[in-house]
């Protein structure tokens, strides 16, 4: 058969596929899923079994939040830093010590692939540095796991789209870790806007001050600490020699691993802006901004910026590195400001914040907490408050801002095709290099 | 350079080895030798040139020349990154040669992908040849599950592409393969997703089969939500009774998400389930599909149950969209006086049942207090300003004494909905003219502070002359809650008249509150604080007083605070206030600030005081390299005009500088804002300008360099002569403007107008080459 004879080959596929069914009947393909009570089996504990991948600062927070829910059971933790995974195991084992006599403790892993290979784990929480988010999320979806992935959902727009596609393909549940939208106040503010309480929305001001805005000098090459698997930490990111401030926490100010403040807290605040604008499954039409990227030193993400976005609905969004941190929605009849973090609301009048949203009006649905919402939807196979498309679009806002600042000109964006329509070079900037063998 | 311009001063300080940015020519000469941890300014120059280029071909050739030379791996990675943005076919050979170097191959592949050469050169890693994949799939050892699943994943990508191009036959083959019962659930789920995409018109049958004989109940739940049509609703509702208990709650949630009332009956039966989780899921579901018939059950559970059951009933009660729901609630509300009846009335408010307003108003005449209270709660939401007269009249009715506060609260909320603030108090003022009892008048006076405007304040002032102390006290307390300082002169009069101790205490307390709330915190407020200082009696008022004085950046504040330092009860607050004043003055008068805070570093003071004192010293140290001695005047604006439009307008600091209200400019409060003068923090607001002025005293005729950054625009004058004018929005960047200063022997006046075009508003300044020059405020 000629390799280029596609039609013949494709029909042939089905013929042989019929044959392989019989041959495959004896394959050990079926992963027991009794922990979920699937297919009529009653779950031994009716809990969602979990593992955390990435257990540093944010990972510890997420792990504790998920651990504390009554319907989860942790089985494993994974981190390329031994001290992180050991600390995580220690607090999980301590937590479960008095709750489950038969539990012998969580298992520890250095390589996330070993976690994904376990049949008895239903869901994973991913809180690695950003450059790993998409690779692990896609792999997790392919392995049949449900996913709680920290924000930003991915480190580039094509990677984010790959996550959305993988989750959809395998019918998985994914919650992006943009937990600010699960706050009652943030939801209420968005409902007020959507239901016309501030009149026609025309302007959104996003305040994203940079707390750690000082650049740092070039850093010396350092020996890799014994407890860190540095090659695995780098993963898909370009190889660079180890230095302390490249890794934990500080990675967010280096563009190979993250997008600076813009993708860090920006992924929260722009997410709320997208929600309030009712555009959280699409994106802007134009992006125009400027920023200051340090000319030298280790950190190379924007340390101050001002970016304008224009949407098809006529709304203009201005994102600036100023305080107080939060987002202000301005309409013809009033305004609302959501403080991030904390969710405290301010408005053009006290009466506005006493408004009741009637049953016939648009409701966004209350969240019992971002982590609880995830587990609830793992069980009901519903859509989380920050599903993949929403998480991807919010992260896209951050990436678009960074590209527009780099490119230094007004860019026109097609949210459908996720391509710039007026700039080839900007389209090339959408992609990131991946070290072999990692790719999404 | 466009957006990466001159070097940030902060960086300059942090990185003393950096001299200046190289030219593009020099950058290309040195970039090949770049190694990590070295100066990367050559890379920055090239990166900006590439990122903003209009002539990519020329830069591509120069980058390729670097690769052709003896470049380090670090340099090659950088060059590849640049080529990934602007590379063309001309880069293919060079990139292909790099594919064997594992530490650079990822970058080379990205270049090739971006120039559309990836599929040809990277075959195998990015599969796009579906025919080959089919062949490979059949050759796989079925026992090697990982490879089988990976191949299926690639085949699903092929199937999606085939489906998009209309080749449904191939896609069907792939999805049928995935759907086989011997594959794991998620592979089968993927097969189901594909099958439904393939034949959306037959989705219901596909889902029904998958739920029953297919054994994929949970994978079907998204389709229980989304499969359209009444037929689907009936089928899924009929199936509910057959769903095992362990999956029933999830199934009910999915069924309810269809929002089809025809499923309500099946769901309602599950509220009687013995399984609590199922029962609660059904209660929540009724909020999405239920109707008036479900209201009694939900009300009963809202009142008589606890925990999650109560929350579910409450939420559903507010969410049912059936038009009959509100009528049912009203009927229940009218039928008795127990807790359920009151809850029904209250729910009308929670549901924003505007059409039931008249009926709820009638319930205000009910004899039962709980029913009246519930009606008021509901009316707070559903009544309109047209109903204010009715409600206000009830304040004068003794029968409503028990509901007085609830009534006042409802009236205030409704009045605040009047669009024009100047009319919000009209109904209350009208009633005030006929108020025939102290309690009624006091209620009305209290209400005036909830809709504060000039007309209301006039009424409050009149009330201060009343012979009835109850009325006078109500007026004083209402003034104390005013949102601005307008009542202060009236309260001063009360203090001076001193009709009763209670009134003086209330007036002084109110004045402190009002004065403390005034922004910006200009030194002219000090006179008002001085006026009340002798009347303070309670510790609470004294502490509030000190808290307010501590925010006034003037040396006179120290004098006003001083007596409170010797009072044991106010000593700590006074010390804290002193350190706060010192902090505000620390830029302009660092020596005085140090002197004032030094006593409070002693262990005898509480931790917050010592910390604040240390903060003053740290701030002075931190800002030592910056020009911090400035006086401030402003804000100035032209109503309704953007700041850019009045950039050249001459406000008082230009036309009459001697009489302009100059005050001392404090440093930014955040420790990370080194050297920053944050006008947004001190003044705030939008579309305006502020003036900053300092005096530079030179021992002889000399020159100096003024390094300036502003957000947004600025205009700079030295001795009245304009040195710089930038009328556009920009971020704060230290040293963005480098201005030579020609100074005369003696005093020279340097003034900067900083405009605000929205967002941040700040300045950062430094004086260099300043031998023999001192900066100070006048």
Both tokens of residue B4?
């990466």
Shortest alpha-carbon distance between residue A282 and chain B (Å)? 21
Nearest residue of A to residue B213, measured between CA atoms: A39
Mark whether A161 and A251 lie in a shared domain: no
When CB atoms are compared, the residue of A17, A33, A172 closest to B177 is A17
Section B68-93 average pLDDT: 93
Q: Select the residue from B190, B219, B254 to test the A interface by mutation, using most A Cβ atoms within 10 A.
A: B190
> Tokens 């004043």 — which residue?
B581
User: Does residue A381 lie in a domain region?
Assistant: no
User: Does residue A27 lie in a domain region?
Assistant: no
| Torsion sign, CA atoms B112, B114, B119, B124 | positive
Contact B36 A241 (CB under 8 A): yes
pLDDT, position B719:
96
Q: Is B367 on the interface with A (CB under 8 A)?
A: no
Main-chain phi, psi angles of B198, to 5 degrees: -65, -40
As to burial, measured by CB atoms within 10 angstroms (0-12 exposed, 13-18 middle, 19+ buried), residue A109 is buried
Contact A433 B109 (CB under 8 A): yes
Q: Look at residues A403, A440, A439, A438 and name the one whose alpha carbon lies nearest to residue A424.
A: A403
User: Does residue A204 lie in a domain region?
Assistant: yes
Distance CA B96, CA B411 (A): 77
As to burial, measured by CB atoms within 10 angstroms (0-12 exposed, 13-18 middle, 19+ buried), residue A294 is buried
pLDDT, position A211:
61
HSE value, Cβ hemisphere, 13 Å, CA-based, for A224: 16
Per-residue pLDDT of chain A (440 residues; tens, 9 = 90+): 222 233 334 434 444 343 333 333 322 222 333 333 333 333 444 789 999 999 999 999 999 999 999 999 999 999 999 999 999 999 999 999 888 777 889 999 999 999 999 999 999 999 999 999 999 999 999 999 999 999 999 999 999 999 999 999 999 999 999 999 999 999 999 999 999 999 999 999 999 987 655 678 899 999 999 999 999 999 999 889 999 999 999 999 999 999 999 999 999 999 999 999 999 999 999 999 988 898 899 999 998 888 999 999 999 999 998 778 899 999 999 999 999 988 899 999 888 999 999 999 999 998 999 999 999 999 999 999 999 999 999 999 999 999 999 999 999 999 999 999 999 999 999 998 888 788 88
Q: Is B257 on the interface with A (CB under 8 A)?
A: yes
Least confidently predicted of A17-31, B266-280, B402-416, B594-608: A17-31
Mark whether A160 and A300 lie in a shared domain: no
Higher pLDDT, A253 or B522: A253
Mark whether A159 and A253 lie in a shared domain: no
Mark whether A113 and A190 lie in a shared domain: no
- Which residues in A6-158 belong to E strands, given as ranges? 48-53, 72-78, 107-109, 123-126, 146-149
pLDDT, position B9:
30
CATH number of the domain encompassing residue A45:
3.40.50.720
Both tokens of residue A385?
């408050």
Mark whether A167 and A247 lie in a shared domain: no
Distance CA B271, CA B287 (A): 13
Contacts of B655 (CB under 8 A, 6+ apart): none
Q: Are the C-beta atoms of B477 and B506 separated by less than 8 Å?
A: yes
Mark whether A223 and A248 lie in a shared domain: yes
Q: Look at residues A69, A50, A232 and name the one whose alpha carbon lies nearest to residue A148.
A: A50
pLDDT at position B278 over 50: yes
Q: What is the pLDDT of residues B229-239, one digit of tens each?
A: 999 999 999 99
Mark whether A351 and A314 lie in a shared domain: yes
Count CB neighbours of A332 within 10 A: 10
Nearest residue of B to residue A35, measured between CA atoms: B246
When CB atoms are compared, the residue of B37, B244, B325 closest to A219 is B37
From edge to edge, which strands make up the β-sheet containing A146-149?
A107-109, A72-78, A48-53, A123-126, A146-149, A174-176
- Which residues in A237-381 belong to E strands, given as ranges? 286-292, 304-310, 316-320, 326-331, 334-339, 345-347
Distance CA B603, CA B624 (A): 27
User: Does residue A142 lie in a domain region?
Assistant: yes
Section B245-261 average pLDDT: 96
Nearest residue of A to residue B150, measured between CA atoms: A142
Q: What number is the ipTM of this complex?
A: 0.86
Q: Is B183 on the interface with A (CB under 8 A)?
A: yes
Mark whether A334 and A255 lie in a shared domain: yes
Residue that finishes a domain, picked among A180, A208, A242: A180
Query: What is the count of structural domains for chain A?
Result: 2
Section B571-585 average pLDDT: 93
User: Does residue A20 lie in a domain region?
Assistant: no
Instruction: Give residue B728's pLDDT band: very low, low, confident or very high (50, 70, 90).
Output: confident
Distance CA B585, CA A312 (A): 49
Residues in chain A with CB shorter than 8 Å from the CB of B135 are 1, 3, 9
Residue that finishes a domain, picked among A152, A180, A208: A180
Partners of A81 in the β-ladder: A228
Distance CA B563, CA B448 (A): 37
Q: What is the pLDDT of residues B326-371, one digit of tens each?
A: 999 999 999 987 899 999 999 999 999 999 999 999 999 998 989 9
User: Does residue A10 lie in a domain region?
Assistant: no
For A202-216, give one letter per residue: b (16+ CB within 10 A) or e: eebbbbbbbebbbbb
pLDDT at position B749 over 50: yes
Contact B77 A238 (CB under 8 A): yes
Nearest residue of B to residue A288, measured between CA atoms: B3
User: Does residue A382 lie in a domain region?
Assistant: no
Distance CA B334, CA B593 (A): 69
pLDDT, position B17:
37
- For residue B764, the 8-state DSSP code is E
Q: What is the residue range of A310's domain?
A: 183-363+388-428
Provide the terminal-to-terminal Cα distance of chain B, rounded to the nearest Å.
39
pLDDT at position B605 over 70: yes
Mark whether A262 and A393 lie in a shared domain: yes
pLDDT, position B319:
96
Q: Is A22 on the interface with B (CB under 8 A)?
A: no
User: Does residue A103 lie in a domain region?
Assistant: yes
Mark whether A87 and A102 lie in a shared domain: yes
Q: Look at residues B624, B584, B618 and name the one whose alpha carbon lies nearest to residue B601.
A: B618
Both tokens of residue B354?
């505007």
> Tokens 């007269």 — which residue?
B389
SS3 B722: strand
Q: Are the C-beta atoms of B174 and B156 separated by less than 8 Å?
A: yes
Q: Is B355 on the interface with A (CB under 8 A)?
A: no
When CB atoms are compared, the residue of A10, A215, A303 closest to B169 is A10
- For residue B42, the 8-state DSSP code is H
Q: At what angle do helices A157-169 and A388-407 cross, to 10 degrees?
A: 170
Distance CA B670, CA B588 (A): 17
Provide the terminal-to-terminal Cα distance of chain A, rounded to the nearest Å.
31
Q: Look at residues B381, B387, B406 and name the one whose alpha carbon lies nearest to residue B395.
A: B406
Residues in chain A with CB shorter than 8 Å from the CB of B215 are 39-40
Mark whether A115 and A201 lie in a shared domain: no
Q: Look at residues B410, B391, B338, B344 and name the one whose alpha carbon lies nearest to residue B369.
A: B338
pLDDT, position B352:
96
Contact B37 A218 (CB under 8 A): yes
pLDDT, position B4:
35
Q: What is the pLDDT of residues A3-60, one digit of tens each?
A: 223 333 443 444 434 333 333 332 222 233 333 333 333 344 478 999 999 999 999 9
In B106-135, the residues whose Cβ lies within 8 Å of chain A are: 106-107, 109-110, 113-114, 125-126, 129-132, 134-135
Residues in chain B with CB shorter than 8 Å from the CB of A141 are 186
Q: Is A335 on the interface with B (CB under 8 A)?
A: no
Nearest residue of A to residue B78, measured between CA atoms: A238
Contacts of A143 (CB under 8 A, 6+ apart): A116, A117, B186
Main-chain phi, psi angles of B750, to 5 degrees: -105, 125
Q: Is A359 on the interface with B (CB under 8 A)?
A: yes
- Domains of chain B, each with CATH number or no CATH: 9-121 (no CATH), 631-776 (2.60.120)
Residue that finishes a domain, picked among A143, A158, A180: A180
pLDDT, position B762:
93
Both tokens of residue B664?
């001392």
Radius of gyration of chain B (CA): 38
- For residue B293, the 8-state DSSP code is G
Higher pLDDT, B127 or A337: A337
When CB atoms are compared, the residue of A16, A30, A207 closest to B184 is A30
CATH number of the domain encompassing residue A262:
3.30.360.10
Mark whether A172 and A188 lie in a shared domain: no
């Amino acid at each position: 058969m000629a390799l280029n004879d596609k039609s013949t080959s494709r029909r042939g596929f089905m013929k042989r596929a019929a044959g392989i069914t019989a041959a495959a009947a004896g394959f050990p393909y079926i992963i027991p899923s009794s922990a979920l009570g699937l297919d009529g089996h009653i779950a031994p504990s009716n809990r969602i079994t979990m593992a955390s991948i990435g257990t540093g600062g944010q990972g510890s927070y997420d792990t504790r939040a998920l651990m504390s829910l009554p319907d989860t059971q942790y089985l494993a933790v994974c981190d390329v830093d031994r001290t992180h995974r050991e600390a995580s195991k220690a607090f999980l084992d301590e937590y479960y010590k008095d709750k489950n006599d038969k539990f012998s403790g969580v298992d520890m892993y250095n390589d996330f692939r070993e976690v994904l290979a376990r049949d008895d784990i239903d869901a994973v929480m991913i809180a690695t540095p950003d450059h790993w988010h998409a690779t692990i999320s896609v792999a997790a979806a392919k392995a049949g796991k449900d996913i709680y992935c920290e924000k930003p959902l991915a480190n580039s727009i094509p990677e984010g789209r790959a996550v959305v596609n993988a989750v959809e393909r395998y019918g998985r549940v994914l919650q992006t870790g943009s937990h600010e939208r699960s706050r009652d106040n943030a939801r209420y503010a968005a409902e007020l806007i959507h239901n016309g309480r501030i009149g026609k929305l025309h302007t959104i001001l996003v305040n994203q001050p940079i707390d750690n805005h000082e650049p740092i000098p070039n850093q010396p090459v350092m020996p890799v600490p014994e407890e860190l698997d540095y090659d695995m930490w780098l993963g898909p990111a370009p190889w660079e020699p180890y230095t302390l401030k490249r890794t934990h926490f500080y990675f967010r100010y280096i563009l190979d691993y993250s997008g600076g403040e813009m993708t860090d807290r920006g992924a929260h605040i722009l997410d709320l802006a997208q929600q309030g604008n009712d555009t959280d499954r699409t994106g802007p039409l134009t992006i125009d901004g400027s920023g200051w990227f340090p000319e030298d030193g280790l950190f190379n993400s924007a340390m101050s910026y001002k970016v304008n976005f224009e949407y098809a609905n006529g709304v203009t969004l201005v994102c600036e590195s100023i305080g107080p941190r939060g987002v202000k929605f301005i309409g013809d009849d009033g305004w609302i400001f959501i403080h991030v973090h904390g969710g405290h609301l301010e408005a053009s009048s006290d009466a506005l914040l006493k408004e009741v949203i009637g049953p016939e009006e648009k409701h966004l649905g209350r969240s019992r907490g971002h982590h609880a919402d995830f587990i609830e939807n793992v069980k009901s196979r519903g859509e989380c408050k920050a599903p993949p498309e929403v998480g991807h679009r919010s992260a896209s806002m951050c990436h678009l801002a960074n590209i527009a600042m780099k490119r230094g000109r007004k860019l026109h964006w097609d949210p459908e095709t996720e391509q710039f329509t007026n700039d080839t070079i900007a389209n090339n900037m959408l992609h990131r290099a991946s070290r072999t063998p990692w790719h999404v | 350079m466009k957006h990466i311009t001159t070097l940030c001063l902060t960086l300059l300080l942090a990185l003393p080895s950096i001299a200046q940015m190289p030219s593009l020519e020099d950058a290309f000469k040195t970039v090949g030798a770049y190694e990590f941890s070295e100066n990367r300014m050559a890379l920055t120059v090239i990166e900006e040139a590439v990122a903003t280029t209009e002539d990519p071909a020329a830069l591509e050739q120069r980058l390729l020349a670097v690769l052709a030379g003896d470049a380090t791996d670090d340099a090659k990675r950088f060059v590849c990154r640049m080529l990934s943005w602007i590379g063309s076919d001309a880069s293919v050979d060079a990139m292909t040669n790099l594919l064997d170097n594992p530490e650079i191959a990822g970058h080379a592949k990205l270049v090739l992908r971006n120039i559309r050469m990836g599929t040809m050169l990277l075959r195998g890693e990015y599969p796009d040849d579906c025919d080959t994949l089919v062949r490979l799939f059949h050759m796989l050892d079925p026992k090697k599950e990982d490879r089988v699943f990976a191949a299926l994943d690639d085949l699903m990508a092929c199937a999606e592409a085939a489906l998009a191009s209309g080749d449904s036959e191939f896609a069907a083959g792939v999805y049928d393969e995935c759907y086989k019962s011997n594959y794991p659930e998620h592979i089968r789920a993927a097969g189901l997703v594909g099958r439904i995409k393939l034949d959306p018109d037959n989705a219901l049958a596909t889902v029904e089969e998958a739920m029953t004989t297919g054994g994929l109940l949970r994978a079907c739940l998204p389709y229980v939500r989304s499969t359209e049509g009444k037929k689907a609703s009936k089928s899924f509702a009929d199936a509910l009774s057959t769903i095992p208990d362990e999956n029933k709650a999830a199934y009910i949630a999915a069924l309810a998400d269809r929002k089809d009332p025809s499923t309500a009956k099946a769901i309602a039966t599950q509220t009687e389930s013995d399984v609590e989780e199922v029962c609660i899921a059904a209660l929540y579901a009724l909020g999405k599909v239920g109707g008036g018939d479900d209201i009694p059950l939900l009300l009963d559970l809202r009142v008589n149950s606890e925990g999650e059951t109560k929350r579910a009933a409450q939420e559903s009660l507010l969410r049912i969209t059936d038009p009959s729901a509100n009528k049912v609630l009203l009927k229940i509300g009218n039928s008795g006086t127990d807790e359920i009846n009151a809850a029904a009335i209250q729910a009308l408010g929670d549901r924003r049942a505007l059409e039931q307003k008249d009926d709820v108003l009638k319930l205000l005449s009910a004899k039962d207090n709980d029913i009246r209270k519930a009606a008021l709660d509901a009316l707070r939401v559903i009544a309109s300003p047209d109903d204010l007269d009715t409600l206000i009249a009830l304040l004068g009715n003794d029968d409503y004494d028990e509901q007085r506060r609830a009534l006042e609260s409802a009236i205030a909320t409704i009045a605040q909905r009047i669009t024009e603030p100047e009319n919000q108090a009209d109904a209350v003022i009208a009633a005030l003219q006929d108020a025939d009892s102290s309690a009624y008048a006091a209620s009305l006076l209290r209400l005036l502070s909830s809709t504060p405007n000039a007309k209301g304040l006039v009424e409050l002032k009149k009330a201060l002359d009343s012979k009835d102390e109850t009325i006078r006290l109500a007026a004083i307390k209402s003034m104390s809650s005013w949102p601005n300082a307008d009542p202060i002169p009236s309260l001063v009069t009360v203090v001076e008249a001193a009709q009763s101790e209670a009134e003086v205490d209330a007036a002084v307390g109110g004045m402190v509150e009002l004065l403390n709330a005034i922004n910006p915190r200009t030194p002219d407020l000090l006179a008002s604080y001085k006026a009340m200082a002798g009347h303070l009696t309670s510790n609470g008022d004294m502490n509030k007083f000190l808290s307010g004085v501590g925010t006034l950046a003037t040396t006179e504040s120290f004098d006003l605070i001083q007596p409170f330092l010797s009072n044991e009860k106010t000593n700590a607050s006074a010390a804290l206030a002193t350190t706060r004043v010192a902090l505000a003055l620390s830029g302009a008068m660092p020596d005085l600030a140090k002197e004032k805070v030094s006593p409070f570093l002693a262990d005898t003071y509480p931790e917050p005081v010592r910390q604040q004192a240390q903060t003053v010293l740290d701030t002075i140290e931190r800002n030592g390299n910056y020009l911090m001695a400035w006086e401030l005047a402003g804000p100035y604006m032209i109503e309704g005009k953007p700041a850019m439009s009045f950039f050249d307008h001459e406000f008082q600091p230009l036309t009459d500088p001697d009489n302009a209200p100059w005050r001392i400019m404090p440093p930014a409060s955040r420790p990370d804002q080194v050297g920053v003068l944050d006008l947004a923090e001190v003044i705030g607001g939008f579309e305006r300008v502020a003036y900053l002025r300092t005096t530079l005293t030179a021992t002889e005729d000399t020159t100096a360099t003024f390094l300036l950054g502003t957000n947004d625009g600025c205009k700079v004058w030295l001795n009245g002569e304009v040195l710089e004018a930038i009328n556009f929005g920009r971020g704060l960047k230290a040293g963005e403007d480098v201005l030579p200063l020609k100074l005369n022997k003696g005093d020279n006046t340097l003034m900067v107008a900083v405009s605000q075009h929205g967002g941040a508003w700040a300045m950062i300044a430094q004086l260099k080459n300043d031998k023999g020059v001192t900066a100070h405020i006048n």
